[in-house]
Amino acid sequence: MPGGKRVKIIVDGREVEVEQGTLLIKAAEEAGVYIPRLCYHEGLRPDGNCRMCLVEVEGLRKPVPACMTPVRDGMVVKTNTPALKEHRRKVLEFILTTHPMDCPICDQAGECVLQDYYFQYDLEDRRYFEDRERKPKKVHWGKNLIYDAERCILCRRCVRFLDHVTKTGELGVFERGIQSYIGLFDGKKIENNYSGNLVDLCPVGAITDLDFRFKMRVWFLDRTPSVCPLCARGCNIEIHTNTDPLTNRFSSQRVFRIKPRKNMDVNRWWICDEGRYSYKFIDQNRITRPLIKGKEASWDAVSRKLREIIGREVRVYLSAWMSNEELIYWKKLGELLQWKLSLLRRPDGDQDDLLRVADKNPNTTGARILGLEEGGGNEEVAVVFHFPSPGEHKMKIGIFTNAFEGMEDWDMVLPAATFAEKEGHWTNFQGRVQKFQQALEPLGESLEEGKIGEKFAEAFGIEFPWKREEMEKEFLKEMKKWSGR
Amino acid sequence: MVWAIVKAVVVFSWALVTVLYITLLERKESALIQDRIGANRAEVLGLRLNGFFQPFADALKMFFKEDYIPPFVDRPFYMLAPLFALVFALVPVGAIPLADSVKIGERVVSLSVIGSNVGVVLVLSLLSLGIYGVILGGYGSRNKYGLVGGMRATAQVISYEVALGLSLIGVLLVFPSLDLNEIVHMQNRYILGGWVPRWGIFLQPLAAVLFLIAGMAENKRVPFDLPEGESEIIGYFLEYSGMKFGMFFVADFVEVLLLAALFTTFFLGGYNPPYLFPDGFHFPWGGSWLLSPVWVRVVQFITFNIKLWIMVWFLLLVRWTYPRYRYDQLMDLGWKNLVPLSIVNIIITAGIMAVIK
Amino acid sequence: MRLFWEAVKGLRVTARHLLRNLWKFSLYYVGLSKDKGVVTLEYPEERRETFPRVRLRHRLLRREDGRLRCVACFLCATACPARCIYIEAEEDPDHPLEKKPRQFVIDLGKCAYCGFCVEACPEDALRMDLHIPELAEYNRDDLLYDIEKLTKP
Ligand code: SF4
Ligand code: SF4
Ligand code: SF4
Ligand code: SF4
Ligand code: FES
């Protein structure tokens, strides 16, 4: 509600001014006070079932749940009194009476809210020694989700997500009391495009990801902020990698999972499953050495061979997967060498009204800003980025990240780094320029496209070094021109 | 000539075998002092004999170790040094009489390899030549630690040479001869009613102590092992390995043998056991046990060995008792204590001699 | 002079040790006494008794049903200061414990024998109670102990 009424409240002695109607738990966050929570998630409707977030409000006899209470002008709130702490201990103790303590085999361990609170509230020993309630474990919920009812703390975040965000409503709470569990409605499977978010939402390890299951302990992962390349929205993501030979000794996998990064203007808290599970191309089926006529060769051999195209007609098919910097670098290079330029894109696909857009390329907008258009010609030589090109050309030079069929017939195939192995910017469909950072070293002898461009420049005997920062500035100039049109 | 070669072979093999077993004694003695057992595993035909064959195993090992010559060394010096060290340690041993000389027809055959009548001078001069091995070793290694070790050795040996020589002068005043055999003879007289032999240690006790200390310093072993200083510089043989190192090592022990032998000769009556005369034993309480000359020589040789081993034992005991001197203490001891004391000893001895005459 | 007597005293100490040990050991050597007098243990034949809490070579334990106790939780690898425990986890489809190690390797060449891994293990799957101190190999790779070597000592 922009322009809504502002009210002042005091949380633990800190004064803060927020909009009227804000939930107390958020208002406190704005004041810099974190109120423990289990069931509240800012992307979901508050439910108030866990009672971790109870706070004391002056003038009220009983504590109130901060996640359900809107602020009132002049509220004085205390979040950390001994009574509240004792209360939270008890909430936790109740949960833990039935909790299986599977942490050694639970993928959530290390980023589990319950674990964190357990340590924070010092619940050393259990006092409840009755047999634990046995519930279904390892239930497949379809696609990549595995549900463990014993670990579930019944916060209903998953249910609310499916009800209110994806509006598919596959899940419900079944049974009552201590027997209750989350279950699929008859005949349903969770097959929507956002199911992966349930794993992130679940505060404990009740919903885990089949794809990530047992692959790596989360505390060994390095987290690099990046941007999802799989559609033009450019959801903000985190790439979780581990390249330490001591903790990741037996597998060649480097990227272990993709997690969403909160960005209220682009993807809010979510990402779609396509973005979440398509990371495998970063490690698998990669081209790691240059190929000349299907045979492995060195970059030196490539440089020698590139001299053959001097003076011939060249068309360069740039791709909408290249970063702004790379596009403008190649555009300038093409202008210097009088090449023809055109654009290749992944064909459009599905879209929905949550995140996914039809354009399945991360940087179509960037390419448009630079005036690149699809199309082709019949020039002698083609330099093709990322997608096997449609045109008829005598000599074909491809710059690809992953192996594909018919690769041997190409005159030259050069290995390119994936987005996780370089740094750059993409312009998403809203025209936001978003930065993705380097999470990994390029695999094998692959190079980022800018560096490959440098090789071309060298082979043609011109001085045009690849300087990413300069190209970034150049692009922003172009962008200004474009938006001011 | 033939005799000389035979004598040389016999005496030097005797010396080397003795040296081998000095190494064993050193290991065993140090072990027992430190409540250990010591080397006892070398096995021949299933026999261990508590380490009896250890010296041979050690020697064998030394032979077959890789003899690595670092590329940066000064080759001629580097090669010569261990040779010098060993030869100049061994040769003086040849001057020590192991038993009385024999008369074969007209000729008097001395039972040392070099039956010189200036044995004392010979021994002392050869002894001081031994330092060349050390210096060349340290210098030729082209290693600063080696060089430091060599320098230390030189300074030390030169200093103690003086004390060594001076302490002997007292002995030479009492036994006025430069022939070692003659000196031994002169110790085979008896004083105090014929009970006590006129050994150097009784006539010249101060000289004996000084000689022993100076000798140990010459020897460069603990507590005078600054040239080696294995906890700090490793010393002059730092760059040596294999048999070349072995030669330094053996030279070290030959010097122990030499010092013990010299001490025996100068101060312990040499090869003569008490009351043995050329024709057999004559005891002061009356009675005698006559022996043929050959048996006398045998008894003398055995006696010499026994005295030698006792001295070696004592030297090793000293070596395993004291910690290393500091360099200034070392020089203090040499120049400020040993040299003045030996001069005092000379003066007193000379005075007494003059009075007696 | 005082120094001289101190020096003699030193000799006396060493000589006393020497003679006493010589006497005792000689008696022992010819079989007349059981007391060696010296502290040496002749190792391959004689072994020192290890203390019950000593930490030596690791072993992996099994459950009653024969499955490894280890659930590949990586806590030992996380606790290890030498970072010498390498684990690969996998699904155990038939067992309620869901997870097991596909590979479990301890590089004893790097191990510091601190015992942190044993402390960290929540399943009591790892112990260092074998009392085997010998660990000499000609090849560094032979010091990589995998599940087989760790379970069958
Ligand atoms: S959900 Fe959390 S507390 Fe429960 S077993 Fe998993 S990691 Fe442990
Ligand atoms: S599965 Fe997870 S998100 Fe769903 S109710 Fe249980 S704990 Fe909450
Ligand atoms: S004993 Fe210590 S160093 Fe060795 S494996 Fe265990 S934790 Fe690592
Ligand atoms: S801590 Fe124990 S259960 Fe966990 S991986 Fe190590 S040995 Fe296995
Ligand atoms: S977070 Fe408020 S009741 Fe659960």
* Domain coordinates in residue numbering, chain A: 6-80, 94-209, 291-483
Please determine, for residue B286, whether its predicted confidence score (pLDDT) is greater than 50: yes
Q: Dihedral through CA B220, CA B223, CA B226, CA B230, nearest 10?
A: 100
Q: What is the pLDDT of residues A134-179, one digit of tens each?
A: 899 999 998 889 999 999 999 999 999 999 999 999 999 999 888 8
Query: In the predicted model, what is the mean pLDDT of residues C14-33?
Result: 89
List residues bridging with B71 in a β-sheet. none
State the residue range of the domain holding B144.
Answer: 2-356
Query: Which atom of ligand 5 lies at the shortest distance from residue A36's CA?
Result: 1
Query: Which atom of ligand 4 lies at the shortest distance from residue C75's CA?
Result: 1
Q: What are phi and psi of B333, to 5 degrees?
A: -60, -45
Please name the member of C72, C98, C123 whose beta carbon is closest to the beta carbon of A138.
Answer: C98
Asked if the Cβ–Cβ distance from B34 to C22 is below 8 Å, we say no
Tokens of A417: 């780094």
Which residues line ligand 4 at a C-beta cut-off of 6 Å? Answer: A 104; C 70-76, 87, 120-121, 123, 125-126
On whether any CB of chain C is under 8 Å from the CB of A113, the answer is no
Secondary structure in 3-state letters for chain B: CHHHHHHHHHHHHHHHHHHHHHHHHHHHHHHHHCCCCCCCCCCECCECCCCCCHHHHHHHHHHHCCCCCCCCCCHHHHHHHHHHHHHHHHHHHCCCCCCCCEEECCEEECCCCCCCCCHHHHHHHHHHHCHHHHHHHHHHCCCHHHHHHHHHHHHHHHHHHHHHHHHHHHHHHHCCCCCHHHHHHHHCCEECCCCEECCHHHHCHHHHHHHHHHHHHHHCCCCCCCCCCCCCCCCCCCCCCHHHHHHHHHHHHHHHHHHHHHHHHHHCCCCCCCCEECCEEECCCCCEEECCHHHHHHHHHHHHHHHHHHHHHHHHHHHCCCCCCCHHHHHHHHHHHHHHHHHHHHHHHHHHHHHHC
CA A35 vs CA A84, A213, A430, A438: distances in Å: 11, 30, 35, 34
Residue to test with chain C: of A103, A105, A212, A248, most C Cβ within 10 A: A105
- pLDDT attached to residue A1: 47
**Chain A: nearest CA to C114, how far in angstroms?**
18
Nearest to C151 by CA among C46, C48, C16, C61: C61
Give CA–CA dist B97/B94, Å, rounded: 8
- pLDDT attached to residue A272: 94
A215 to chain C: closest CA residue? C89
Looking only at the bridges linking them, the beta strands covering A171-174 and A340-344 are unpaired
Contact status, residue A37 vs residue A25, Cβ threshold 8 Å: yes
- The pLDDT averaged over each successive group of 10 residues in chain A (485 residues) is 78 92 92 94 92 92 93 91 93 89 91 92 79 88 91 94 93 91 92 93 95 94 95 95 93 94 94 94 93 92 90 91 94 92 91 92 93 86 85 88 89 94 94 94 93 92 92 92 77
The CA-CA-CA angle for residues B216, B218, B219, to 5°, reads 60
Asked if the Cβ–Cβ distance from A214 to C71 is below 8 Å, we say no
Q: What is the pLDDT of residues B115-128, one digit of tens each?
A: 778 888 988 888 88
Classify residue A265 as exposed, middle or buried by CB count within 10 Å of its CB (0-12, 13-18, 19+). Answer: exposed
Give CA–CA dist A96/B146, Å, rounded: 72
Give CA–CA dist A264/A298, Å, rounded: 46
Contact status, residue A474 vs residue A328, Cβ threshold 8 Å: yes
On whether any CB of chain A is under 8 Å from the CB of C86, the answer is yes
Query: In the predicted model, what is the mean pLDDT of residues B234-242?
Result: 86
Return contacts of A35-38, CB within 8 angstroms, 24+ apart. Answer: A35/A66, A35/A67, A35/A79, A36/A88, A36/A117, A36/A120, A37/A66, A37/A67, A38/A113, A38/A114, A38/A117, A38/A153, A38/A155, A38/A203
CA C128 vs CA A298, C44, C122, C150: distances in Å: 50, 22, 15, 10
Contact status, residue C113 vs residue C129, Cβ threshold 8 Å: no
On whether any CB of chain C is under 8 Å from the CB of A253, the answer is no
* Matching fold, domains A6-80 and A291-483: no
On whether any CB of chain C is under 8 Å from the CB of A284, the answer is no
Tokens of A282: 């970063």
Determine which helix (DSSP H) or strand (DSSP E) holds C5, and give its type and residue range.
helix C2-29
DSSP A161: I
**Complex confidence, ipTM:** 0.84
Q: What is the pLDDT of residues B3-27, one digit of tens each?
A: 788 888 998 999 999 999 999 999 9
- pLDDT attached to residue A299: 94
List residues bridging with A15 in a β-sheet. A10
List residues bridging with B103 in a β-sheet. B108
Residues in chain C: 153
Give CA–CA dist A416/A299, Å, rounded: 12
Helix (H, G, I), strand (E, B) or coil at A342: strand
Q: Estimate to the nearest angstrom the gap between the alpha carbon of A68 and the chain centroid.
A: 29
Asked if the Cβ–Cβ distance from A214 to C83 is below 8 Å, we say no
- pLDDT attached to residue A3: 61
On whether any CB of chain C is under 8 Å from the CB of B49, the answer is no
Report the half-sphere exposure of A207 (CA within 13 A, side-chain side).
25
- Give the pLDDT band of residue B340 (cuts 50, 70, 90): very high
Contact status, residue B131 vs residue B154, Cβ threshold 8 Å: yes
Subunits that touch chain C (at least 3 Cβ pairs < 8 angstroms)?
A, B
Residue to test with chain A: of C67, C68, C74, most A Cβ within 10 A: C74
Q: Identify all chain A residues contacting C88, using CB atoms and an 8 Å cutoff.
A: 249-251
CATH of A291-483, one of 3.30.930.10, 3.40.630.30, 3.30.110.40, 3.40.50.740: 3.40.50.740
CA B76 vs CA B69, B139, C10: distances in Å: 12, 11, 44
Looking at the domain covering A6-80, what would its CATH class be? Answer: alpha beta
CATH of A94-209, one of 1.10.1020.10, 3.30.420.10, 3.10.20.30, 3.30.70.20: 3.30.70.20
Residue to test with chain C: of A151, A217, A253, A256, most C Cβ within 10 A: A217
B&C contacts, CB < 8 Å: 42
- pLDDT attached to residue A2: 54
Global pTM? 0.76
List residues bridging with A223 in a β-sheet. A240
For residue A70, the tally of other CB atoms under 10 A from its CB is 15
H helices of A47-131, in order, are: 82-97, 113-120
Give CA–CA dist C126/C118, Å, rounded: 6
CA B44 vs CA B49, B68, B99: distances in Å: 9, 29, 34
Mean pLDDT over the full length of chain C: 90
Please name the member of C75, C77, C88 whose beta carbon is closest to the beta carbon of A250.
Answer: C88
CA A439 vs CA A66, A233, A239, A244, A414: distances in Å: 38, 21, 7, 13, 21
Tokens of A80: 């950390």
Contact status, residue C121 vs residue C75, Cβ threshold 8 Å: yes
Q: What is the pLDDT of residues C94-114, one digit of tens each?
A: 888 899 999 999 999 999 999
C42 to chain B: closest CA residue? B37
Maximum CA pair distance of chain A? 86
Tokens of C100: 């097991």
Give CA–CA dist B34/B321, Å, rounded: 10
Contact status, residue A383 vs residue A313, Cβ threshold 8 Å: no
- pLDDT attached to residue C38: 84
What one-character-per-residue DSSP string does A288-330 give?
-S-EETTEE--HHHHHHHHGGGTTS-EEEEEETTS-HHHHHHH
Give how many domains chain B has, as a whole number: 1
**Best residue for ligand 5 mutational test, from A41, A67, A114 (most atoms within 8 Å of Cβ):** A67
CA of residue A299 to ligand 3 center, whole Å: 44
Query: In the predicted model, what is the mean pLDDT of residues B37-42?
Result: 86
Ligand nearest to the CA of A200: 2
Looking only at the bridges linking them, the beta strands covering A314-319 and A381-385 are parallel
